[in-house]
């Protein structure tokens, strides 16, 4: 039965009813067949965002005035980071799952041209001899015309795929294998397109949910403590430019975090010295807690 890919959900999902005020979600316009794949992601993420909201409120209600500013900021960040990581766990699980599904679908397509290994040793040897014969024939052909000989011929495709040397380019051979599989089973092409569409939808929705968390922090005037590396673990950069930008952001944040950590440790050491000095003087009052 063909999937209806044009019907809209028409109804707002629970996560938007709860966090629509952040202006990041529009679930009513979801295609119904894609919504079904994202329902678990959104339901779990609704719980994650609720927990993060509670932790934000706890931080805002906590009095950190007894702490030095740098230490107070570190304590707030530690509390918020726990909530951010918990929420990101849901996103990572679903984005990773659909990404792996794409790879599984692509592998399924290539398996259509993998030769069956005969259990009979004699038949297996005869198969290998046949492939060696084909490869020898192909090596004797002008490289410009080898593709014409291989295209659409299963035995030649298999022999080339198992060749210890590159009789034709690997990229072209993969495409030849894919085209052969699609010709024999057109549904495989649709399966691959569906898996990619589901992945793009889940990734986009996960990005919108992450933006809900970011917006929540922004409205509370709190910085987002989630490490850049952990963001890219869920949303890997795709292009060379994106990868370069990601690398620079990760390196820059790492340097800043090292400086902040050293500063906090220095402040804690100074506080410890002050406390020891006050105790020796018989003064038990501690101006700042660490």
Instruction: For residues 125 and 151, state if they share a domain.
Output: yes
68 and 208 share one domain: yes
Alpha carbon 276 to chain centroid distance?
Answer: 49
Q: What is the pLDDT of residues 211-232, one digit of tens each?
A: 999 999 999 999 999 999 999 9
Q: What is the pTM of this model?
A: 0.83
Is 6 part of a structural domain of the chain?
A: no
151 and 20 in one domain? no
Question: Residue 253's domain spans which residues?
Answer: 240-290
Report whether pLDDT(288) > 60: no
User: Is 20 in the same domain as 101?
Assistant: yes
User: Does residue 252 share a domain with residue 220?
Assistant: no
For residue 3, tell me if it sits in a domain: no
Residues 26 and 168 in one domain: no
Domain count, the chain: 3
Tell whether 267 and 140 lie within a shared domain: no
286: confidence class by pLDDT, cuts 50, 70, 90? very low
Residue range 64-105, pLDDT digits in tens: 988 888 888 889 999 999 999 999 999 999 999 999 999 999
Give long-range contacts, CB 8 A cutoff, 24+ apart: 33-36: 33/3, 33/4, 33/5, 33/7, 34/197, 34/198, 34/201, 35/9
Structure confidence at residue 282 (pLDDT): 65
CB count in 10 Å sphere of residue 89: 13
56 and 172 fall within a common domain: no
For 223, phi then psi, to 5°, come to -75, 155
């Amino acid at each position: 039965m063909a999937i209806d890919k044009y019907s809209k959900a028409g109804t707002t999902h629970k996560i938007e009813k709860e966090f629509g005020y952040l202006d990041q979600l529009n679930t009513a316009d979801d295609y119904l067949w894609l919504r079904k794949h994202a329902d678990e992601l959104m339901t779990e993420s609704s719980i994650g965002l609720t927990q993060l909201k509670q932790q934000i409120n706890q931080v805002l209600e906590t009095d950190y005035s007894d702490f030095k500013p740098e230490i107070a900021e570190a304590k707030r960040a530690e509390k918020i980071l726990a909530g951010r990581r918990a929420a990101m766990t849901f996103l990572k699980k679903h984005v990773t799952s659909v990404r792996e599904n794409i790879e599984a679908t692509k592998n399924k397509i290539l398996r259509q041209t993998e030769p069956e290994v005969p259990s009979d040793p004699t038949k297996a040897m005869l198969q290998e001899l046949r492939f060696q014969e084909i490869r020898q024939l192909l090596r004797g052909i002008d490289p410009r015309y080898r593709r014409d000989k291989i295209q659409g011929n299963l035995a030649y495709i298999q022999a080339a795929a198992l060749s210890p040397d590159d009789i034709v380019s690997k990229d072209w051979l993969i495409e030849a294998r894919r085209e052969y599989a699609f010709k024999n089973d057109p549904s495989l092409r649709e399966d691959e397109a569906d898996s990619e569409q589901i992945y793009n939808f889940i990734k986009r929705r996960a990005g919108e949910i992450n933006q809900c968390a970011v917006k929540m922090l922004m409205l509370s005037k709190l910085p987002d403590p989630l490490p850049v590396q952990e963001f890219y673990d869920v949303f890997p950069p795709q292009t060379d430019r994106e990868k370069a930008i990601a690398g620079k952001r990760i390196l820059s944040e790492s340097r800043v975090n090292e400086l902040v950590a050293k500063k906090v440790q220095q402040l804690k050491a100074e506080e410890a010295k002050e406390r020891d000095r006050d105790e020796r003087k018989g003064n038990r009052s501690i101006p700042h807690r660490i």
